[in-house]
Amino acid sequence: MKISLSPEIERLIAEKLKSGRYGSADEVIREGLGLLEEREKGIDHSPSNGSANIGAAFEGIAGGLSPADWDSVPPDLSKNLDHYLYGGGKTS
């Protein structure tokens, strides 16, 4: 089989090879085609871990955190959300 690739696609393949993640151009193409096949089959790789709602997604993520991670979350986070997100003053 003979295929023609645009210079942009050739550059993208070269970048992927430089990253060291792939050993050959064939590997890059195979992964891309595999993702295309999954997309066409309707396989969802959403960041919600396949959960139907945000609450279930949060529970799934939260369940994987260690107690030390939870200890680093400020107890007043919801009260001072703007402070932690944007650096504004704390409300208390």
pLDDT along the chain (92 residues), means of 10: 90 91 91 88 63 75 82 79 80 74
- State the pLDDT at residue 56: 78
Q: What tokens appear for 76 in the block?
A: 């007043």
Residue 46 lies in a domain: no
Judgement on whether residues 12 and 37 belong to the same structural domain of the protein: yes
**Tally of structural domains, the chain:** 2
User: What pLDDT is stored for residue 43 in this prediction?
Assistant: 65
- Check if the beta carbon of residue 31 is closer than 8 Å to that of residue 17: no
Predicted local confidence at residue 79, as pLDDT: 81
Q: What is the pLDDT of residue 17?
A: 92
Residue 49 forms part of a structural domain: no
**Residues 11 and 37 both lie in one domain:** yes
Contacts with 76 (C-beta within 8 Å, 6 or more apart), sequence order: 90, 92
Q: How many C-beta neighbours within 10 Å does residue 16 have?
A: 17
pLDDT of residue 14: 93
In a domain, 48, yes or no: no
Tokens of 16: 């992927």
The pLDDT assigned to 39 comes to: 83
Flag whether 92 is in a domain: no
- Residue 25: inside a domain, yes or no? yes
Q: State which residues form the domain around 35.
A: 7-41
